């Protein structure tokens, strides 16, 4: 049977494939063999090859090459379906159904030329012509019609041909968008990734991805999201755009400068503009104006990596060294951690000076009774105690520079306004202002009616808390009392002062917030059930610790508690916090780390002791003073990541370059202190 004309597409099309004939009509499509009909492959409402009024078939969809055998009308009227080049047709399994196309994979390394394109070198003339007309027809179809067309073709393919289709299509779905997008847009996309491990793994995809992720913009944004502190201007000057070809560097530099201007106010963590840390006298926080930091990093990527690894070590790692520091059972009365020293004062009149690794440097001897207060400033140390003397030391040499006399009772608290000025508070009810260059007392501040228990200082203003239930605000330069703060019903044991607000903790279980300019009490924070002896204030956050064993985190703007921590079974003896964590020590012998944001317990640091006297920490180090087996022990924890070789710094982007430090190492260390002091390893 032949078509009536060349312009008319046949209503019945038959294709022979391996002995199976497919006959399609406007209502059905049934496979039949030489022996008779068989079950249909799958029900369909319409046939792919049905004549469509909207998209008429091409006029010459069936060519008439000269080599067609006209003796067989079927060969002329019903062309064979397009065979797959280079593949031999086989019978179609009756249960072969079309499969949905695979979803685009996660971006992977750009594929190489491993997908073999069809080879038409040996295609017949009729085959090429049919392909050309079919292609023109396919171009005129809409999306839904194209899907039906392709579905019919795939339904006719066997497994071998489907494998060919998969291998041919899969590489085309793995296009790397970053190869074609501008640098600024690529960095914008990467800015939405807030997981550093994901970014580290992404840098292994290709050289292009690695170059993008070596740029500082992505890591600067990540520093903002993780609230890591802003790098200093000196360090920022060292930051360079990534090493791309010269033509590509200008857009990156522009992107970095634009992001820097837009994020300057937010990229810094909460501590970037935080006021000076102020704690109570009982607090273990160091009052040194300088805290040791690792060598300045040269990029935001290395800055983030270092911060990330330090945080991971605080959560699950760290290395500790435990040392027995004194042969007698001295009680630790004060602890300070500076950029060069760990300084420990005891009630046996001795002051021990260690380096930051816990190695003993020297013992300062001169006091004849217990040392109850001290404050370091660079290599200088000022101390006071039960012998009523204030002594000035050079920690580098161990020499006593000055002995300042004037108090008539125990010196209970000390602060330094600057390198040359110290303020002492005593049980004789007075405060004294000392000139450390000359060793002369400048002023005696009189006003309290009982022992001066604690001091807070900011600039030219010092605030004192007393057992007479009042706090007083003094001018250091003028040497006079500016205001008296009254309201507590019992002794004041702790003060925190940041220049804007004053917080006082009392035996009456309350914490009061004062305005230093007016002397008015702005808030009364209640919740503790016993003496509040630990206070630290930082911005809008106040953390308090009491003899009831609880630690409370307060919002000063709201005047309400943020977290209530059941920290210890007995008194909180030491308390300190920073932007991320709270570290508390108690007389129950435990040291605990808490999340400042959530109030959840992060970990318990060290093994339980008989009692914990003091805890002091800075970014990468923590020092614990405790009693174990009736001996005074010092435990030094280091959370510093391993040092990188300068040639390798900022070159590794693998996930392993930012690991969680899971292993806790305990190292033995020989004590250099004379008198036969021993070293004990924690077990």
- 3-state SS assignment for residue 130: helix
Query: What value does the mean pLDDT take over residues 605-629?
Result: 93
Confidence band for 212, pLDDT divided at 50, 70 and 90: confident
- Which has more pLDDT, 663 or 532? 532
Confidence band for 362, pLDDT divided at 50, 70 and 90: very high
Confidence band for 188, pLDDT divided at 50, 70 and 90: confident
Residue 116 has pLDDT above 70, yes or no: no
Closest CA to 491 of 522, 453, 542: 453
pLDDT at 271: 37
Query: What value does the mean pLDDT take over residues 118-128?
Result: 68
pLDDT at 609: 92
The Cα–Cα gap between 565 and 418 comes to: 36
Which CATH code fits 177-263?
Answer: 1.20.1280
The Cα–Cα gap between 410 and 369 comes to: 10
Residue 451 has pLDDT above 50, yes or no: yes
Residue 266 has pLDDT above 70, yes or no: no
Confidence band for 40, pLDDT divided at 50, 70 and 90: very low
Six token digits for residue 354: 């260690």
- Which has more pLDDT, 651 or 461? 461
Query: What value does the mean pLDDT take over residues 498-509?
Result: 97
pLDDT at 409: 97
pLDDT at 287: 38
Residue spans in the chain of domains classed CATH 1.20.1280: 177-263
Query: What value does the mean pLDDT take over residues 638-661?
Result: 55
Query: What value does the mean pLDDT take over residues 193-206?
Result: 87
Q: What's the per-residue H, E or C state across 154-212?
A: HHCCCHHHHHHHHHHHHHHHCCCHHHCCCHHHHHHHHCCCCCHHHHHHHCCCCHHHHHH
- 3-state SS assignment for residue 599: coil
Helices (H), 469-583: none
pLDDT at 513: 98
CB neighbour list of residue 479: distance below 8 Å, 6 or more residues apart: 433, 442, 443, 445
pLDDT at 520: 96
Residue 228 has pLDDT above 50, yes or no: yes
Query: What value does the mean pLDDT take over residues 281-286?
Result: 36
Contacts within 8 Å (CB) and 24+ apart, 251-256: 251/182, 251/183, 251/184, 252/183, 252/187, 252/215, 252/217, 254/184, 255/183, 255/184, 255/187, 255/215, 255/217, 256/215, 256/216, 256/217, 256/220
Six token digits for residue 618: 């800075």
Query: What value does the mean pLDDT take over residues 292-304?
Result: 68
pTM: 0.65
Residue 19 has pLDDT above 50, yes or no: no
pLDDT at 246: 36
Query: What value does the mean pLDDT take over residues 153-182?
Result: 88
Query: What value does the mean pLDDT take over residues 371-376?
Result: 97
Q: Judge residue 172's burial from the number of C-beta atoms within 10 Å of its C-beta, 0-12 exposed, 13-18 middle, 19 or more buried.
A: exposed
- Percentage of residues in the chain with pLDDT exceeding 70? 65
Residue with token string 């970053």: 178
- Which has more pLDDT, 200 or 59? 200
pLDDT at 239: 37
* H or E stretch at 300: helix 300-316
Q: Which of 118-122, 307-311, 447-451 has the highest mean pLDDT?
A: 447-451
């Amino acid at each position: 049977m032949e078509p009536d004309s060349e312009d008319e597409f046949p209503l019945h099309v038959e294709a022979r494939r391996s002995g199976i004939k497919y006959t399609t009509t406007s209502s059905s499509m049934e496979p039949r063999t030489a022996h008779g009909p068989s079950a249909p492959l799958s029900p369909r409402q319409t046939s792919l090859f049905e004549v469509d009024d909207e998209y008429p078939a091409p006029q010459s969809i069936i060519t008439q090459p000269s080599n067609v055998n006209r003796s067989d009308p079927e060969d002329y009227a019903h062309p064979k379906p397009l065979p797959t080049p280079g593949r031999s047709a086989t019978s179609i399994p009756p249960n072969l159904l079309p499969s949905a196309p695979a979803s685009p994979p996660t971006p992977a390394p750009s594929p190489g030329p491993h997908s073999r394109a069809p080879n038409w070198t040996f295609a017949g003339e009729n085959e090429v012509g049919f392909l050309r007309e079919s292609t023109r027809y396919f171009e005129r179809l809409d999306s839904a019609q194209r899907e039906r067309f392709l579905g019919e073709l795939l339904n006719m393919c066997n497994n071998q041909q489907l494998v060919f289709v998969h291998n041919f299509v899969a590489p085309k779905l793995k296009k790397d968008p970053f190869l074609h997008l501008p640098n600024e847009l690529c960095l914008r996309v990467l800015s939405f990734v807030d997981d550093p491990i994901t970014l580290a793994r992404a840098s292994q995809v290709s050289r292009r991805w690695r170059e993008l992720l070596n740029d500082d913009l992505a890591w600067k944004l990540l520093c903002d999201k993780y609230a890591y502190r802003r790098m200093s201007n000196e360090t920022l000057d060292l930051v360079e755009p990534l090493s791309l070809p010269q033509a590509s560097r200008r857009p990156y530099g522009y992107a970095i400068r634009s992001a820097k201007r837009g994020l300057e106010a937010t990229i810094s963590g909460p501590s970037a503009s935080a006021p000076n840390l102020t704690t109570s006298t009982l607090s273990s926080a160091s009052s040194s104006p300088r805290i040791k930091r690792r060598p300045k990093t040269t990029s935001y990527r290395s800055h983030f990596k270092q911060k990330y690894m330090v945080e991971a070590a605080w959560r699950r790692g760290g290395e500790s060294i435990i040392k027995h520091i004194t042969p007698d059972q001295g009680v630790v009365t004060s602890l300070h951690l500076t950029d060069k020293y760990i300084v420990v004062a005891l009630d046996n009149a001795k002051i021990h000076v260690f380096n930051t690794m816990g190695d003993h440097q020297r013992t300062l001897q001169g006091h004849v009774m217990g040392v109850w207060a001290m404050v370091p400033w660079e290599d200088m140390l000022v101390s006071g105690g039960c012998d009523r003397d204030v002594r000035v030391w050079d920690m580098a040499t161990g020499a006593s520079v000055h002995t300042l006399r004037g108090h008539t009772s125990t010196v209970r608290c000390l602060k330094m306004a600057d390198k040359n000025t110290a303020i002492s508070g005593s049980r004789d009810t007075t405060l004294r202002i000392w000139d450390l260059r000359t060793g002369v007392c400048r002023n005696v501040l009189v006003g309290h009616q009982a022992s001066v228990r604690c001091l807070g200082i900011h600039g030219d203003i010092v605030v004192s808390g007393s057992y007479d239930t009042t706090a007083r605000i003094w001018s250091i330069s003028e040497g006079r009392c500016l205001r008296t703060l009254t309201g507590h019903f019992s002794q004041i044991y702790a003060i925190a002062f940041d220049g804007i607000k004053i917080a006082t903790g009392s035996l009456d279980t309350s914490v009061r917030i004062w305005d230093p300019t007016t002397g008015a009490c702005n808030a009364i924070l209640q919740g503790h059930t016993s003496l509040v002896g630990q206070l630290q204030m930082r911005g809008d956050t106040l953390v308090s610790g009491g003899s009831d064993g609880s630690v409370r985190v307060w919002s000063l703007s709201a005047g309400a508690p943020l977290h209530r921590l059941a920290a210890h079974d007995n008194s909180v003896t030491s308390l300190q916090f920073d932007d991320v964590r709270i570290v508390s020590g108690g007389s129950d012998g435990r040291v605990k780390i808490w999340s400042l944001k959530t109030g959840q317990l992060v970990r318990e640091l060290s093994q339980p002791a008989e009692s914990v006297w003091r805890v002091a920490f800075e970014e990468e180090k923590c020092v614990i003073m405790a009693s174990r087996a009736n001996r005074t022990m010092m435990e030094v924890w280091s959370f510093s990541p391993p040092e990188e070789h300068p040639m390798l710094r900022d070159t590794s982007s693998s996930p392993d370059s930012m690991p969680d430090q899971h292993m806790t190492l305990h190292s033995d260390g020989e004590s250099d202190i004379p008198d036969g002091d021993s070293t004990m390893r924690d077990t």
